[in-house]
Structure 1
Amino acid sequence: MTLPALAELPAILLPLVSRSEQSFRTAVAGLTEGDHGFSTWTPERWAQFARVTGASDFVIEQSVRDPLMLLSLVQSGELDRPFAPGELCGQIAAAVNTAQTEDELGRVLRRQRARHQVRIIWRDLTRQADLVQTCRDLSDMADASIDQAYQWLYSRHCQQFGTPTGRRSGEPQQMVILGMGKLGAVELNLSSDIDLIFAYPEGGETVGVKRALDNQEFFIRLGQRLIKALDPMTVDGFVFRVDMRLRPYGSSGALVLSFNALEQYYQDQGRDWERYAMIKARVVAGDQVAGAQLLDMLRPFVYRRYLDFSAIEALRTMKQLIQQEVRRKGMADNIKLGSGGIREVEFIAQAFQLIHGGRDLSLQQRPLLKVLGTLEGQGYLPPAVISELREGYEFLRYTEHAIQAIADRQTQMLPDTAQDQARIAFMLGFADWDAFHEKLMFWRGRVAWHFAQVIADPDEEEGADCEVVVGGEWLPLWEEAQDEEAACRQLEEGGFADATKALKALAGLRGSPQLRAMQRLGRERLDAFIPRLLAQAVEHDNPDLVLERVLPLVEAVARRSAYLVLLTENPGALRRLLTLCAASPWIAEQITRFPLLLDELLNEGRLFKPPLAPELAAELRERLTRIPEDDLEQQMEALRHFKLAHRLRVAASEIAGSLPLMKVSDYLTWLAEAILEQVLALAWRQTVAKYGTPLRTDGTLCDPGFIIVGYGKVGGIELGHGSDLDLVFIHDGDPQAETDGAKPIDGAQFFTRLGQRIIHLLTAQTNSGQLYEVDMRLRPSGASGLLVSSLGAFARYQENEAWTWEHQALVRARVLVGSQDVGQAFEKVRAQVLGKARDLAKLQQEVSEMRAKMRDNLGSKSTAAGTGANAFDAAAPFDLKQDAGGIVDIEFMVQYAALAWSQSHPPLLRWTDNIRILEELEHEGLMPVEDASLLREAYKAYRSAAHRQALQKDAGVIPGDQFADERRQVMRIWRELGLS
């Protein structure tokens, strides 16, 4: 929402402003050391004064009590500009350094707090700071107050009790102070308390004094002194109310715990609400380095590394507790805890973080508005929902600040006096209370509606007083509460063609070892899921097929029952799962092997709309930047999950008809390129870290001076769902020059090891399988050649030693990733090699002989590779790829044409894919329009059929009577080109 403008001062506040001005003038008149610029206040400044003091008793009270404070804020210009990073902390640190005693420390902190609170409220109420900046200033003030008080106390505490030292490390120990809630998220409000947790790295005792103190006792005493410095109300006010109840065991627990004790507690006894709270945890004071280590230790507790639908019940319980509290008397006017209040927006965001944050690292952040942006950007919630949540939240937060600006009281209750109601309406930019209240209730209604939708119980029908269990009619069958005859009859009535087989499959699942080993909770989840599965299966045309393909998945995930919860809680996801499995056994097998793909079914819009190439690359880069550079295992898993997820999205889109064949290949090729870009970056970083950077022949550093060239389907932008990658690695480094690292090796060795590293990253088997199968046999000299060639060696080989079939392969060669300058040099080599003048008769003979060998070895034997008299019979097989008139014939014709005519027609070398080369052949007048068009359409039809076969897990072989006309025409054009 836009920043709410201040309305005109209502008449009811004018007397208040008049009294405030008179009181302040009297206070200034009492100063003995000049007016500090007061006499030069402009009308604009007095207008600000009127607006602020009309709204806030706190500001006028502080200004009358200490007029110099406000005068200095005006004179320094601090009311009229945002602070630079670190400026606020610097001011508090300078003030704290003047304190000599703990009493003085308390006074200094309270006066600093009053000064900055006046500044922040002033800038908020004059609309010079928006919500985010106000919250940041308040959080910065809290961080600085806590940290400066801690540092001041720590040094004096060490003088008194000695320096705490780790028993294991022998290093001095500092405390780590975690800020929770709004402080942790940098979202503090105008009169918020602060939720803190104290910790220290390791056990031990103090050194440097006669009587050593246990580290825990040292830090408990220090923590008590820190709370005393911040919390109590004195004549100078307070700094921050400190709440320590979020620590382990709450109020009854030790005030400070070691890292190990914290980790043990959360691992053994941590509850889901503590996971929920820990999302916001941030190191606000003390040892920042050790604090970062602590948060890394606790991250697995907060964010489970799998899709965490096991948190659903806990979240639902929390939600019910919120709803119960909302119904309590007196909550209607509470804009935080009441219905449609701030807490409900926070719950919506954090529920998604708990469930998905372990998998989606972009959700592992604290500020709520940023989380909402991520939920929109990643497709978890529609833009319209996010827009309402964001605007509603901002309106509520502005209202909260307005309420608290009045008297600096920690309250979220709407006022009940006419004067304060007028103040709230004025601060939010409304003419009167009624207009404000109408808008407030609108936003609370929208927030409450969205809150009701989050983790709503799928068994609860809207408006119903009782629960109706979805699929409940199938529960007796699953639980064997009826005899076999009745069960079969129910299955037959549901549309099962072979009821006995279906019943036997369910019994087999029920008696499988995986199910017998399930814990009680898992079995309850399965019992809730199977009736829903059957209820949706019978809605399909072939429920037998659905059950046959989905039950292996159920058995595979039985021990990880969070996936069953995912499908139970999301009927739409279950519906999409059954639809995709019914359409493709390949998809069913993929999800069974990699159940983490179930996550992709949650968002229908994202599932059937894979991103374009730049978005793919950016998404993968962002995902990898969130993983520590030294965590290779997690990087490899992230790459594999990314590939699996996006390949599923492409297959789903193909099945749904939203992606035509050419786009399917485009997406799969873009996916491979995005992954290769990151694999090269990872391999380069790891190899350079070990050996140093290689040099070029001119002595400059390679950066990286290396390219990955794609041949075959990836080069021709024609990847299919199970395609491997035909790759060639080329560099332009100096093979003899040594790298500049601590363990130098020559350039040839470096690039060989880089290539080996790339292949390892691509082909290593992990829990999520391998990225791609890689075929390197198209490199110079094939399997017996060097793994990585220099650009010069590659050019010499292609010019002097390569066979014709290798030049055919070069037609489809394309730089996928790597150095731009090396890529351009490769393109020149390719153009030079392919553009040579050739003896057409010899070329025809060599291409024909190679094609004949392939047909003999790979084609259908029973039809002489599609050339026999029976080749077009319905009972005969037709191999879409290898038989005469099929895919490879078209590819060979395109390659022949490129080799034969590119010397005089260079545009033939512009592309590497068959479709566009055929278009160029037509455009250059080298092939009749009808023939070029026929070859393009036949090629697309064949490949589309091959894709369908792959999704059905069938070989690329179809009945011989299919594509008969296309095959005959392809064979005719083959002959007319002089090929045999």
Structure 2
Amino acid sequence: MQESGAVDADGLARLQQYLLADTALQDQLVRCWGGSDYVAELCCRRPELLTELIASGDLQRPYQAEELRYKLDALLAEVETEDQLAFQLRRFRQREQVRIIWRDLNRQASMVQTTAELSAMADAAIDAAYQWLYGRCTQDWGVPMGAEADEAPWAQHLVVLGMGKLGACELNLSSDIDLIFSYPCQGETQGGRRSLSNQEFFIRLGQKLIKVLDAPTVEGFVFRVDMRLRPYGQSGALVLSFDAMEQYYQDQGRDWERYAMIKARVVAGDQQRGSELLAMLRPFVYRRYIDFSAVDALRDMKRMIQTEVKRKGMQENVKLGGGGIREVEFIGQAFQLIHGGRDRALQQRPIMGVLAVLQEKEYLPKAAVDQLVDAYVLLRNVEHALQAVDDKQTQKLPEAEVAQRRLAWVMGFEDWAAFKARLQACRDAVQCHFDGVIADPSEQSDEQLDDEGWALFWAGHLSEEDAQARFAEAGYAQPERCSKLVDSLRQGRALQSVQRKGRERIDLFMPMLLAHLAELDAPDEALHRLVPLVESVMRRTAYLVLLMENRSALTQLLTLCASSPWIAEQIARHPMLLDEFLDVDSLFAPPVRGQLADELRQQMMRIPDDDLEQQMEALRYFKTSHVLRVAAAEIAGTLPLMKVSDYLTWIAEVVVCEVVEIAWSNMVARHGTPCGADGEPAPRDFIVIGYGKLGGVELGYGSDLDLVFVHGVDGQRSTDGERSIDNQTFFMRLGQRIIHILNTQTASGQLYEVDMRLRPSGASGLLVNSLEAFERYQQQDAWTWEHQALCRARVIAGSDVLAGRFEQVRGRVLGRERDLDKLREEVVRMRQKMRDNLGTPETAAGTSESSWSADAQFHLKQDHGGIVDIEFMVQYGVLAWSHRHPELYRFSDNIRVLDALEATSLIPAEDADLLREAYKAYRSAAHRLALQNQKGVVGGDAFHTYRQGVCDLWRRLMLEANEQQSGPQ
């Protein structure tokens, strides 16, 4: 095999002789190589490719149906390995790309023929690769079987849906392919070395299929594969069953997914079952009634695309820019979504067919359709000419003069000016028809809030008195202060150093911002919180464009910043969080734990395993963005307190699990896997135990993580790698690695602050203990307060088997019988010590109501009647009575333990209810204070009823029952 990049001189000589005999072929060669560096370079490297195409006559004719598949099957007949499969697929693509580009640039094929053959090539490659891989996978893992009602078990195949241009048979010369994978029903494989669930089988098969098509090799790639259109997007499972697909689109399918599903087509796998799947999904796509609401969805998509166009400077993009390919497609799809449920003629995929129906059925005038068809053909030919140059996915018109002349020549124009004039006329026509069909009527009026007065102020054209009057009239409470604040921003050094384009954006944004702020109830505070954000994006003003082009995003941003200085600070520190405001629905609906884990896993899969810095940055953004969603939902009132803590805890758990995965992989790559007592590599016998708020599923916005690390193998054994170390050292370094990833300050801040002081022997103890050593310490050496802490402990990451063993140890420690008088004495003593050191001085000395005045302070956590009093009583109950009622230590959170104490009649129902309600009220107040960047302290007269009730119960449960306890409390 000739090396990629090498030039075959002898082959070129033979090709030259071959061409000398045919002048027409010479002209075609000049046009093809002149328009495509990719083809020229490939033919120089592999001249036999072109000579074979010429000799076979394939260069001068269109293919018949299935001809591409026959050719590919012949190439794959002798393939025995996945590497050989990848090689032959890439060689197949090279040959057909040369042929298709040659015919396209020489206008031997129409635009429709070109896109159809490119799509047929993709179909052949996907299905042939799938069939080969399916055969190999069934040898290894068995055949996936399915059985439905009244059916005998049958062998299942994957259904591969092609979306977008592939689904419509409209691929361009360098298209990505959008795919969705599904399979008929649940079951297990049969006949392999070990059984897998059908889903696991098809996930593995799908991953192999993506790799063989997408992975770049020395021969390039076959097709770049995009799976983001599947249910739940990047966070969703790679493969879903038919039932799961139907359920998703029925319950959660969004308008843009209806738009995407219009073009869905079975391109590989089980065609018959795939047709059944599409029939199941058709009611989601096409409503039975005339659906004018669909236009709003397309308008939203248009706004999002326009935002991206402006953010990324893509106005010269013939696909996404104004009057481009996407707008022609939107026009057709608008009519399909509105009328397709009743007019089945519109239920087709190719846009050219849709446009023909629009003319035939008089949805659009003939003249309008003619203009759209002409423009679409020109735009697609331009797209192909741009992509033919280097076989790259681009739709942007060139800026260099030589490249412009080349494009004009390929397109058949005398010069760039003539070509550009024709192109612009077509785009103007498309824009006109697009606006007539899609544009929001409200956009025709001036919605801008940046009125002339604010623009004059920002430009510095108002006197100081007029500027302050302007703020006062707009409802600002401190007009002088606000005027000076904005003026200092305008005259500041940071703004003066911004480049021209950035300054223009800021000059447009600031008047709009000031006018929007004036609509708020408290614009002064919001302004002070937004100014740091503006300063932070001075050199990244694309974020301001995002807000200008998405008024709903700006409105939500102002609302949240006005409600919470903590949110304002987070966004100013991490401006990329502004991307979260593009989708308001997801902003106020954070994903649950499973979705969080899937989303993070998908994000981390795109990062090289050895790029720890990028992994750490991705983890920090993931955590920050999802905590923002939780805060937004709490402020909006869509998440109650208990759910807020659940979500914040889930985020931490998912992050810690991924950190353990990264650290473990790194350690194993360096030192090998720890070996067990039998000398064989042991399973990942390691767990991370969460204590405190993490263990109790009660994390707040600024909570640190109390962690303990435990392993379950013989510490004297060693790892099996070339750089072997003893197991105890391995786990110690693993723990250090985990802490490093969590604790390290990067450009995006710290992931979490980690506290390891609750491990056996505290700061002086080993960083990682064996489970046996952990139990020995808990049974023999631990203080009562350490057993109290164990009440709030649970495994959050690591081995399920070791986690089960830990729960048994925890049960033995917490469930042993104790001397109740001694236990009360030790709990009360520890509580008093905490009050003395951490409580509010004026209230720590007593519980009388005189110390609870409005002038005093109440520390929600540490003062009398506060959170810790409740927690200590709950922990006392667990330690005192678990030997008779093991259900008390089943859960680690206070609310469910209180439920158990009530259910066992150890605490009266009215007392349990009081503690639950007080606990939730205190924590809710603490959350609100955290969002205001305030400490967990309120006025001394707050929560009087709850405090009194908690203090009374503390006195009855913890003091009066212990006659030895004396002195003021």
TM superposition score normalised by structure 1: 0.61
1:290-305 equivalent positions in 2, closer than 5 A: 291=220
| Secondary structure in structure 1 of the residue aligned to 2:444 | coil
1:750-899 equivalent positions in 2, closer than 5 A: 750-864=730-844, 867=847, 870-899=850-879
Q: Distance in 2 between matches of 1:284 and 1:568?
A: 40
| Secondary structure in structure 1 of the residue aligned to 2:847 | coil
CA-to-partner distance for each residue in 1:683-713, whole Å, 9 max, x for gaps? 1100100000001223342321000000000
CA-to-partner distance for each residue in 1:444-490, whole Å, 9 max, x for gaps? 9999479956xx9xxx95234x8967444410011111212222112
CA deviation after TM superposition for structure 1 residue 682, in Å: 0.6
Distance 1:678 1:116, change over 3 A: farther
Question: Which residue number in structure 1 is paired with residue 931 of structure 2?
Answer: 951
CA deviation after TM superposition for structure 1 residue 565, in Å: 1.4
Q: Distance in 2 between matches of 1:535 and 1:717?
A: 42
2:94 to 141, 147, 151: 147
Question: Which residue number in structure 2 is paired with residue 691 of structure 1?
Answer: 671
Identical-residue share of aligned pairs (%): 48
Contact 1:855/1:882 (8 A) holds in 2: yes
Letter of the 2:688 counterpart:
I
CA deviation after TM superposition for structure 1 residue 311, in Å: 4.8
CA deviation after TM superposition for structure 1 residue 309, in Å: 6.4
Contact 1:813/1:912 (8 A) holds in 2: yes
Contact 1:866/1:883 (8 A) holds in 2: no
2:350 to 391, 396, 402: 396
CA-to-partner distance for each residue in 1:631-658, whole Å, 9 max, x for gaps? 2221111111010000000001111111
Letter of the 1:189 counterpart:
T
CA deviation after TM superposition for structure 1 residue 613, in Å: 1.0
Letter of the 1:516 counterpart:
Q
Contact 1:696/1:732 (8 A) holds in 2: no
2:609 counterpart of 1:611: no
Distance 1:748 1:499, change over 3 A: same
2:443 to 445, 462, 478: 462
Contact 2:311/2:546 (8 A) holds in 1: no
Distance 1:479 1:385, change over 3 A: farther
2:881 counterpart of 1:901: yes
CA deviation after TM superposition for structure 1 residue 308, in Å: 12
Question: Which residue number in structure 1 is paired with residue 556 of structure 2?
Answer: 576
TM superposition score normalised by structure 2: 0.62
CA-to-partner distance for each residue in 1:148-184, whole Å, 9 max, x for gaps? 48999xxxxxxxxxxxxxxxxxxxxxxxxxx9xxx9x
CA-to-partner distance for each residue in 1:644-689, whole Å, 9 max, x for gaps? 0000000011111110100000000111111111111111100100
Contact 2:857/2:939 (8 A) holds in 1: yes
Question: Which residue number in structure 2 is paired with residue 340 of structure 1?
Answer: 328
Q: Distance in 2 between matches of 1:775 and 1:193?
A: 56
Distance 1:151 1:283, change over 3 A: farther
Q: Distance in 2 between matches of 1:726 and 1:563?
A: 36
Q: Distance in 1 between matches of 2:868 and 2:473?
A: 49
1:664 to 644, 647, 655: 644
1:740 to 699, 717, 720: 720
Q: Distance in 2 between matches of 1:768 and 1:968?
A: 44
2:116 to 181, 186, 190: 190
Letter of the 2:911 counterpart:
D
Question: Which residue number in structure 2 is paired with residue 25 of structure 1?
Answer: none
CA-to-partner distance for each residue in 1:923-953, whole Å, 9 max, x for gaps? 0010001000000000000111111111111
Contact 1:738/1:745 (8 A) holds in 2: yes
Letter of the 2:310 counterpart:
I
1:106 to 54, 57, 82: 54
2:652 counterpart of 1:675: no
Question: Which residue number in structure 2 is paired with residue 539 of structure 1?
Answer: 519
| Secondary structure in structure 1 of the residue aligned to 2:797 | strand
Contact 1:105/1:149 (8 A) holds in 2: no
| Secondary structure in structure 1 of the residue aligned to 2:766 | coil
Q: Distance in 2 between matches of 1:321 and 1:147?
A: 25
Letter of the 1:395 counterpart:
R
| Secondary structure in structure 1 of the residue aligned to 2:521 | coil
Contact 2:580/2:625 (8 A) holds in 1: yes
CA deviation after TM superposition for structure 1 residue 518, in Å: 0.8
1:312 to 310, 323, 331: 310
Q: Distance in 2 between matches of 1:882 and 1:385?
A: 65
Contact 2:835/2:863 (8 A) holds in 1: yes
Q: Distance in 2 between matches of 1:245 and 1:683?
A: 38
Q: Distance in 1 between matches of 2:528 and 2:339?
A: 38
Distance 1:385 1:571, change over 3 A: farther
Q: Distance in 2 between matches of 1:871 and 1:573?
A: 47
Distance 1:605 1:116, change over 3 A: same
Distance 1:619 1:445, change over 3 A: same
Letter of the 1:463 counterpart:
Q
Q: Distance in 2 between matches of 1:447 and 1:788?
A: 68
1:357-756 equivalent positions in 2, closer than 5 A: 395-397=349-351, 399=353, 448=434, 462-464=443-445, 470-756=450-736
Distance 1:488 1:802, change over 3 A: same
Distance 1:727 1:112, change over 3 A: farther
CA-to-partner distance for each residue in 1:786-844, whole Å, 9 max, x for gaps? 00000010010001000000000000000101100000000000000000110000001
2:218 counterpart of 1:289: yes
| Secondary structure in structure 2 of the residue aligned to 1:742 | coil
Q: Distance in 1 between matches of 2:575 and 2:637?
A: 24
CA deviation after TM superposition for structure 1 residue 193, in Å: 11
What 5-or-longer segments of structure 2 have no aligned partner? Answer: 1-46, 71-85, 100-104, 122-169, 176-210, 226-304, 358-368, 374-429, 960-964
Contact 1:676/1:817 (8 A) holds in 2: yes
CA deviation after TM superposition for structure 1 residue 295, in Å: 10
| Secondary structure in structure 2 of the residue aligned to 1:550 | helix
CA deviation after TM superposition for structure 1 residue 317, in Å: 2.6
Distance 1:657 1:108, change over 3 A: same
Letter of the 1:147 counterpart:
Q
CA-to-partner distance for each residue in 1:884-914, whole Å, 9 max, x for gaps? 1100000000000000000001110111000
Q: Distance in 2 between matches of 1:808 and 1:751?
A: 27
CA deviation after TM superposition for structure 1 residue 147, in Å: 2.5
| Secondary structure in structure 2 of the residue aligned to 1:900 | helix
Contact 1:308/1:562 (8 A) holds in 2: no
Contact 1:637/1:766 (8 A) holds in 2: yes
Question: Which residue number in structure 2 is paired with residue 431 of structure 1?
Answer: none
Q: Distance in 2 between matches of 1:820 and 1:187?
A: 56
Letter of the 2:902 counterpart:
E
CA-to-partner distance for each residue in 1:196-236, whole Å, 9 max, x for gaps? xxxxxxxxxxxxxxxxxxxxxxxxxxxxxxxxxxxxxxxxx
Q: Distance in 1 between matches of 2:775 and 2:737?
A: 24
Contact 1:708/1:727 (8 A) holds in 2: yes
Letter of the 1:498 counterpart:
Q
CA deviation after TM superposition for structure 1 residue 517, in Å: 1.1
| Secondary structure in structure 1 of the residue aligned to 2:328 | coil
Q: Distance in 2 between matches of 1:384 and 1:414?
A: 22
After superposition, the CA RMSD in angstroms is 4.5
Letter of the 1:858 counterpart:
L
CA deviation after TM superposition for structure 1 residue 764, in Å: 1.1
| Secondary structure in structure 1 of the residue aligned to 2:759 | coil
CA-to-partner distance for each residue in 1:288-324, whole Å, 9 max, x for gaps? 337479999xxxxxxxxxx996851665634799888
